[in-house]
Amino acid sequence: MRQVILDTETTGIDPREGHRLVEIGAVEMINRRFTGRTYHQYINPERHIDAEVVAVHGIDDAKVANEPVFAQVADEFWAFIEGAELVIHNAPFDVGFIDHELKMLKNRDQPLGPVGDHCRILDTLVMARKMHPGQRNSLDALCKRYDIDNGHRVLHGALLDAEILADVYLAMTGGQTALTLDAEVNQEQRNDTPSETGLSVQRMSLSPGQLRVIAPSQDERQAHLAKCETHQLRWFEDTPGNA
């Protein structure tokens, strides 16, 4: 399955108020493995960027003044996402802005979008709220919960946030991650704090056949079975009514 983990940055909160995209970042995975393909583009929004959001993502008018407008990059971006499952944190926000930009495209023989008609959409915020009800489920909160390093995330950035979200998504869904109960060792190696679960999560890049499976010897198998039988006997003897 082809998935694209995606994030955007904008000039403001609501496209219905004339706000536009200023940055798109996306990471491709196929069958839950990173392909190395990414999409990253700054965009000239053709309008002023609100100071409140500049404080969040650091993208001001000067930074995107010489970048292409969305119409100039629309085809390349669409080719990257079309047909994929899009993994997005708070998907209605990003998809709403993308669909707004697509609707504004003029003089096209074949209109692009809407996104939901051409891509499956998986909202990790909805997923996180179901998995962790009553808890904070922002991207930063999920990074802390799953012990994913986001220390380099001083400001929001579309590609950086997409890469972090990819790690979070794999951790949430039990994908390619390395788990260790040795929080002290991991903290020393990464100069990080252990997660609230006591597990450390790190991305692994494994080629097919690289992960070895070692079968137990006959002696090890017999020792395991004997231990299981001992525990079953203890449980039976300790259960009321079985004495």
Cα 68 from Cα 110, distance rounded (Å) = 21
Low-confidence winner among 183-192, 205-214, 233-242 (lowest mean pLDDT): 183-192
Cα–Cα distances in angstroms (integers) from residue 35 to residues 4, 39, 84, 221, in the given order: 10, 12, 14, 39
pLDDT, residue 67, reads 98
pLDDT value for 227:
75
Cα–Cα distance for residue pair 227/236, rounded to 1 Å: 14
So what's the pLDDT on residue 35?
A: 97
Q: What percent of the chain has pLDDT over 90?
A: 65
In sequence order, the β-bridge partners of residue 121 are: 86
Mean pLDDT in residue range 20-47: 97
What CA–CA distance (Å, rounded) separates 152 from 150? Answer: 5
Catalytic residue among 48, 132, 156, 231: 156
Predicted confidence at residue 191, as pLDDT, reads: 43
| Rounded CA separation 137/135 (Å) | 6
Burial class of residue 101 (count of CB atoms within 10 Å of its CB; 0-12, 13-18, 19+): buried
156 is catalytic: yes
The lowest-confidence range among 4-13, 131-140, 234-243 is 234-243
Does pTM top 0.85 for this prediction? Answer: no
| Mean pLDDT computed over every residue of the chain | 83
Average pLDDT over residues 114-136: 97
pLDDT for res 241 = 56
